[in-house]
Amino acid sequence: MKAEIRQGLQIEQEALAAKYLGLPTAVGHSTSQVFEYLPTRIRNLVGTWSGRDASCAGREVLLKSVAQVLPTYTMSCFLLPVDTCKKMRSIIGNYWWGSSADNQHIHWQCWERLIQPKARGGIGFRDLRSFNLAMLGKQGLLLPTRPESLCARVLKGRYFHDEDFLSRTRKRRMSFTWRAILAGREVLKKGLTRRIGDGTTTRIWEDRWLPNHFAGRPLTPAEGQVVETVADLTTDSGDWNEELIRDIFFPVDANAILKLPMTSRGEDFWAWEQEKHGNYSVKSAYRLQEYV
């Protein structure tokens, strides 16, 4: 098969470099050395700032706009080792407290306090580990929301061709990239919700489909219920069957269901609960980070 592909694409010689577009092309079982270039680049970058008299506001701007942004591209593709995140955090913390990348200075506040928003008494620094998971969750969000994309079709054919992405269990012999996407999937499960179209593919008792309603599902027990999909709760005209809903569900569930607009147009689809119109940007990762 490899020979046929090489012949069809006229590939005479394979030349796999150590990096492609700034990312490592091969990641083995030991990842500590593969991503060592990230702390090194941040250390070299912060080293050029050392020795300069910068105010707290100036150091904050440099760290947030340059040092913390540097690993974003890599974080959107790979799950970085915890030690790598700690090294980058240590460099950022040292410069914040002492204007130097390596010299140890007294840290007057713990890092958990510094990553809190300013409205909560923190500085608003990025929790690198949580942001890494959020960026991977953003990548995983494309699989259920854009199943027609080339990336989604390739991954589905390789890893979950006969299962749903959100319910796919971990298997042996997975690529490092797929492991990273599964790590971000745990964040998605806390905020993904179903947008209701005709209601035929949304399961009432298993899927999250009620926005801002406890766990996104009805509190009413599912035992003994005859309805299974949201479409079972509608009339022939496509409106909510209020009498049936109030007869089946607890009042708090019934009120939440009846507040949902029912258009009966198009298919149901997955969406991030806090976003509108499918606008997923880097800012979305900050909202995802709140669920880590």
- Beta pairing partners, 210: none
| Structure confidence by residue, pLDDT tens digits, 8-33 | 988 877 666 667 777 877 776 667 78
The answer for residues whose C-beta is within 8 angstroms of residue 178's C-beta and 6 or more apart is 155, 158, 159
In percent, the amount of the chain with pLDDT more than 90 equals 29
At 277 the pLDDT is: 45
| Structure confidence by residue, pLDDT tens digits, 266-277 | 888 888 776 654
Q: Which residue has the higher pLDDT, 100 or 149?
A: 149
Check pLDDT > 80 for residue 193: yes
Q: Give φ, ψ of 57 to 5 degrees.
A: -65, -40
Q: Which residue has the higher pLDDT, 243 or 103?
A: 243
The answer for residues whose C-beta is within 8 angstroms of residue 147's C-beta and 6 or more apart is 153, 156
At 228 the pLDDT is: 94
Q: Give φ, ψ of 34 to 5 degrees.
A: -65, -40
Average pLDDT over residues 234-242: 89
At 280 the pLDDT is: 46
Check pLDDT > 50 for residue 278: no
Helix axes 150-159 and 176-188, enclosed angle (nearest 10): 100
Please state which of the ranges 9-23, 63-77, 184-198, 248-262 shows the lowest mean pLDDT.
9-23
Sequence ranges of the domains in the chain: 32-126, 139-190, 192-273
* Distance separating alpha carbons of residues 145 and 100, to the nearest angstrom: 44
pTM: 0.75
Cα angle value 174/175/179 (rounded, 5°): 75
In percent, the amount of the chain with pLDDT more than 70 equals 89
At 276 the pLDDT is: 57
* Distance separating alpha carbons of residues 254 and 93, to the nearest angstrom: 50
